[in-house]
Amino acid sequence: MGWTCEGSGAVGIARAAGYHAGMFPCQPRGPFRQAMHPLLTDIRLVTFDLDGTLIDSVPDLAVAVDTALDDLGLPAPGEAKVRDWVGNGSLTLMERALRHAVLQNEAPGTSQRGGPIPGKESVAPRDGVTAPPRWSDTSGLVAGKASRETRGEIDKALLERAHAAFLTHYARDPGSRTRLYPGVREALDGLRGAGYPLALVTNKPEAFIVPILAGFGLAEHFALCLGGDSLPQKKPDPAPLLHVAAHFDVPPAACLMVGDSRHDIAAGRAAGFRTLAVPYGYNHGESVRDSGPDGVVESLAELV
């Protein structure tokens, strides 16, 4: 149920975040820096989203999505499409990719495609992904289709196969194309140096969090991290944020949620957190300002 960057309980979390026993919970060593962003006034805990807020992970996600669909003989959507689908967890990502494949399959003039992407290794023989669906038969892709918008249910077995293939491919290389957004390192270093405990709440599967953060030398910055599978609920449900607040014994009103999408803002608002948005991430083509965050910064460096 999430992970801490040092130890397995309150003592380990406190040590990792720069606390000593007499200060825990959430009383930082020394006063907070006075020149911080006004939204940090009276804030005692800062929680961040990951994808689209701290990192641009779409290039790696897109490769895994494309290769997983190619294993099934389905068209690869490409990076631009995947960028619009990120934010609700890997299962939803693959469901959106399959729906797109159905539309591509039904489009006039679309021809059958098969075989592996050049230079990519197929997982089909190893992971049991066999007998890719033919272009002439999409009945197994969507059950009960109501329109070309594919509002029906994606075949559960096919979705499970596609999701398993995605996880396999993504686990092989979750970070080589992923980049930190400008200002992220400065913000995290500054907040940590000022004594703020930092938490991470993402809908990405928990197993991928440590390898990605460690690749940027940021794993030790976070006292607690929750993935989309750490709890029964995930954003936009407020439960993960409430779990973080309770874990550190900080009132929600003294917590800040920083994210890039309407799901982050909705979760933060429902949990009673103050909310801060960045406009450069993944929000399904919408402006995150429309979600009504308490503040927006162009770069996280503005926090410090």
CB 45 within 8 A of CB 224: no
Q: What is the dihedral of CA 219, 88, 256, 224, to 10 degrees?
A: -30
Residue 251 in 3-state DSSP? Answer: coil
The letter for the amino acid at 159 is L
Q: Which amino acid is at 136?
A: S
Residue 164 corresponds to which amino acid?
A: A
Write down the catalytic residue from 49, 51, 56, 260. Answer: 49
One-character DSSP codes across 200-246: EE-SS-GGGHHHHHHHTT-GGG-SEEE-TTSSS--TTSSHHHHHHHH
Distance set, CA 271 to CA 41, 63, 198, 201 (Å): 18, 34, 17, 13
Best CA proximity match to 83, nearest among 59, 99, 64, 67: 59
Cα three-residue angle 256-258-261, rounded to 5 degrees: 135
Q: Nearest Cα to 92, choosing from 174, 162, 157?
A: 162
Closest alpha carbon to 200 in 225, 181, 223:
225
Cα dihedral value 281, 284, 142, 233, nearest 10: 70
49 is catalytic: yes
Alpha-carbon separation of residue 15 from 46, 134, 246, 283 (angstroms): 17, 56, 18, 35
Structure tokens at 239: 């439960």
Q: Which residues are catalytic?
A: 49
